[in-house]
Amino acid sequence: MPKFLIQASYTAEGTKGLLREGASGRRAAVDQVVTGLGGTVEAMYFVFGEDDLVIIVDFPDPVSMAAASLTVKASGALHTRATPLLTLDEIDEAARRQVAFRAPGA
């Protein structure tokens, strides 16, 4: 299953919701979204800095990740970005593939 790193920052309204329901309430909401699309939550952490939250999830396909992302962003409570995570074996496979490429000016 494709794995994704989700980094999120709460808007002011999203932070108010977090304060009302707590971290465990938000974890339940994340689990509901992810499992509802056939995925699993591997890890979820609150963090300091530019992001407020990092989550590692497995989804059956990239379209499921996109569906979750669109729905969450439409709420206006969070700003998110999702990064596909690749295994070492996947990178080894990519390194073995032949790619026809000409650098600019070459």
* 82 found inside a domain: yes
* 13 found inside a domain: yes
pLDDT tens-digit map of 90-106: 999 999 999 999 999 98
Global confidence as pTM: 0.88
- For residues 84 and 4, is the Cβ–Cβ distance under 8 A? yes
The CATH number for 26's domain is 3.30.70.260
* 105 found inside a domain: no
The rounded distance, in Å, linking the Cα atoms of 87 and 57 is 14
pLDDT for 80: 96
Q: Given the structure tokens 């439409």, which residue do they identify?
A: 74
Provide the domain count of the chain: 1
Flag whether pLDDT at 42 surpasses 90.
yes
CA 37, 38, 43: angle at the middle one, nearest 5? 95
* 76 found inside a domain: yes
pLDDT tens-digit map of 9-21: 999 999 999 999 9
* 106 found inside a domain: no
pLDDT for 106: 82
Question: Which of these, 95, 87, 77, 92, lies nearest to 26 by C-alpha position?
Answer: 77
Q: Given the structure tokens 């977090």, which residue do they identify?
A: 18
Q: Average pLDDT over the chain, rounded to whole?
A: 96
Query: Which residues are CB-neighbours of 19 under 8 A, at least 6 positions away?
Result: none
Question: Which of these, 49, 48, 68, lies nearest to 58 by C-alpha position?
Answer: 68
Domain encompassing residue 76? 3-96
The rounded distance, in Å, linking the Cα atoms of 30 and 27 is 5
* 91 found inside a domain: yes
pLDDT tens-digit map of 76-88: 999 999 999 999 9
